[in-house]
Structure 1
Amino acid sequence: MAGRGSRLRPHTLTVPKPLIPIAGKPIVQRLVEDIAKVLNQDLDEVAFIIHRSFGKEVEQDLLEIAKRLDAKGIIYYQDEPLGTGHAIMCAKDSLSGPCVIAYADTLFKADFNLDQSADSVIWVKQVANPEAYGVVSLNDDSNIMGLVEKPKEFVSDLAVIGIYYFKDAEVLKNELQNVLDQNIIHGGEYQINDGIKAMIEKGMKFVPGKVDEWMDCGNKDVTVETNGKVLGFIYKDGEDLIANDITLENANIIEPCYIGSNVKLINATVGPNVSLGDGCTVENSTIKNSLIQTNASIKNANLDNAMIGNHAKFNGEFTDVSIGDYSVLE
Structure 2
Amino acid sequence: MAGRGSRLRPHTLTVPKPLIPVAGQPIVHRLVKDIAKVIDQPIEEVAFILGDPAFFGDDVVDSLTKLANDLGAKASIYRQDQPLGTGHAIMSAKESLSGPAVVAYADTLIRADFNLDEDADAVIWVKQVDKPEAFGVVQLNEKEEIVELVEKPETFVSDLAVIGIYYFKDIAVLKDELQHVLDNNIINGGEYQINDGIKGMMAKGKVFKTGQVDEWMDCGNKAVTVETNGKMLGFLHADGIEQLVDPSVTLNNSKIIEPCYIGKDVVLTDSTVGPNVSIGNGCVLDNSTVKNTIISNYSSIKNATLDDAMIGNHVEFDGNFKTISIGDYSVLN
Which of 268, 274, 278 is equivalent to 2:277? 274
The equivalent residue for 1:125 is: 127
Matched, 1:38 2:38: yes
**What secondary structure sits across from 1:100 in the alignment?**
strand
The equivalent residue for 1:217 is: 219
Give the deviation of 1:31 after TM superposition.
Answer: 0.3
Write the distance in 1 (CA, Å) between the matches of 2:10 and 2:268.
Answer: 26
Aligned pairs for 1:105-144 within 5 A: 105-144=107-146
What amino acid is aligned across from residue 321 of structure 2 in structure 1? Answer: F
**What secondary structure sits across from 2:287 in the alignment?**
strand
Unaligned stretches of 5+ residues in structure 1: none
The equivalent residue for 2:260 is: 257
Give the deviation of 1:201 after TM superposition.
Answer: 1.1
What amino acid is aligned across from residue 182 of structure 1 in structure 2? Answer: N
**What secondary structure sits across from 2:7 in the alignment?**
helix
The equivalent residue for 1:88 is: 90
What amino acid is aligned across from residue 310 of structure 2 in structure 1? Answer: M
Give the deviation of 1:95 after TM superposition.
Answer: 0.3
Which of 313, 318, 321 is equivalent to 1:318? 321
Write the distance in 2 (CA, Å) between the matches of 1:43 and 1:187.
Answer: 34
Give the deviation of 1:133 after TM superposition.
Answer: 0.4
What amino acid is aligned across from residue 151 of structure 1 in structure 2? Answer: P
Deviations 1:274-302 (A, max 9, x none): 00000000110000000000001000000
What amino acid is aligned across from residue 143 of structure 1 in structure 2? Answer: E
Give the deviation of 1:62 after TM superposition.
Answer: 1.1
User: How many residue pairs are counted as aligned between the two chains?
Assistant: 330
Write the distance in 2 (CA, Å) between the matches of 1:306 and 1:290.
Answer: 5
Which of 101, 104, 108 is equivalent to 1:102? 104
The equivalent residue for 1:226 is: 228
What amino acid is aligned across from residue 191 of structure 2 in structure 1? Answer: E
Which of 285, 288, 291 is equivalent to 1:285? 288
TM score, norm. by length of structure 1 = 0.99
Write the distance in 2 (CA, Å) between the matches of 1:178 and 1:197.
Answer: 12
Write the distance in 1 (CA, Å) between the matches of 2:189 and 2:266.
Answer: 47
Matched, 1:166 2:136: no
The equivalent residue for 1:56 is: 58
The equivalent residue for 1:21 is: 21
Write the distance in 2 (CA, Å) between the matches of 1:117 and 1:313.
Answer: 55
Give the deviation of 1:305 after TM superposition.
Answer: 0.3
Give the deviation of 1:20 after TM superposition.
Answer: 0.3
Task: Return structure 1 stretches of 4+ with deviation > 6 angstroms.
Answer: none
The equivalent residue for 1:197 is: 199
The equivalent residue for 1:3 is: 3
**What secondary structure sits across from 1:66 in the alignment?**
helix
Write the distance in 2 (CA, Å) between the matches of 1:256 and 1:114.
Answer: 32
Give the deviation of 1:111 after TM superposition.
Answer: 1.1
Percent identity, aligned pairs only, is 68
**What secondary structure sits across from 2:99 in the alignment?**
coil
What amino acid is aligned across from residue 122 of structure 2 in structure 1? Answer: S
**What secondary structure sits across from 2:66 in the alignment?**
helix
Write the distance in 1 (CA, Å) between the matches of 2:59 and 2:320.
Answer: 36
Deviations 1:166-221 (A, max 9, x none): 00010000000000001000122000000101111111110000011110000000
Write the distance in 1 (CA, Å) between the matches of 2:124 and 2:29.
Answer: 20
**What secondary structure sits across from 2:123 in the alignment?**
strand
**What secondary structure sits across from 1:198 in the alignment?**
helix
What amino acid is aligned across from residue 248 of structure 2 in structure 1? Answer: D
The equivalent residue for 1:294 is: 297
Unaligned stretches of 5+ residues in structure 2: none
Deviations 1:17-49 (A, max 9, x none): 000000010000000000000000011000000
Deviations 1:35-68 (A, max 9, x none): 0000000110000001133111111111111111
What amino acid is aligned across from residue 118 of structure 2 in structure 1? Answer: Q
Give the deviation of 1:81 after TM superposition.
Answer: 0.6
Write the distance in 1 (CA, Å) between the matches of 2:119 and 2:2.
Answer: 32
**What secondary structure sits across from 2:120 in the alignment?**
coil
